[in-house]
């Protein structure tokens, strides 16, 4: 889907957060002026962990967590494109993790250069 020549997004929402299985890479959040959001991420199951780095639109690393097991939250409000990079954790099992986005339309884009 990252090779598509049109914007591709994942719509988060419903009654629970987004479950992901054994995937790493980046997603992008498009935050509008005046918006405030909260990003949530956690490993799932016993000792299942994920590494996550969140970068603000100005390039500042806001969150760096190399081995997330239990739910962590990061708030943000700077307008522009935020980057979230998921990676294998530095320790623990790599299998499932969950993430969610609240406060703004819950869309995460697969490419920085293809959004709406």
Assign 78 to helix, strand or coil: coil
What pTM value is reported for the model? 0.89
Kindly report, residue by residue over 66-95, the tens digit of the pLDDT.
999 988 999 999 999 999 999 999 998 888
Task: Say which residue, 3 or 71, is predicted with more confidence.
Answer: 71
45 Cβ contact list (under 8 Å, min separation 6): 93, 95, 96
Give the pLDDT confidence score for residue 3 in this predicted structure: 79
pLDDT for residue 1 is more than 90: no
Buried b (16+ CB within 10 A) or exposed e, 20-49: beeeeebbbbbbeeeeebebbbbbbeeebb
Task: Say which residue, 60 or 70, is predicted with more confidence.
Answer: 60
Give the pLDDT confidence score for residue 77 in this predicted structure: 95
pLDDT for residue 28 is more than 90: yes
Give the pLDDT confidence score for residue 45 in this predicted structure: 79
Give me the CATH code for the 9-82+93-109 domain, please.
2.60.120
Segments making up each domain of the chain, as ranges: 9-82+93-109
């Amino acid at each position: 889907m990252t090779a598509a020549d049109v914007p591709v997004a994942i719509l988060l929402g419903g009654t629970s957060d987004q479950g992901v299985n054994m995937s790493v890479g980046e997603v992008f959040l498009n935050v509008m002026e005046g918006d405030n959001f909260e990003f949530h991420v956690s490993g799932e199951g016993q000792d299942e962990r994920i590494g996550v780095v969140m970068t603000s639109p100005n390039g500042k690393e806001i969150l760096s967590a190399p081995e997330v097991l239990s739910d962590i939250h990061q708030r943000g409000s700077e307008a522009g494109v935020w980057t979230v990079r998921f990676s294998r954790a530095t320790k623990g099992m790599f299998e499932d993790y969950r993430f969610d986005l609240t406060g703004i339309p819950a869309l995460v884009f697969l490419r920085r250069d293809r959004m709406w």
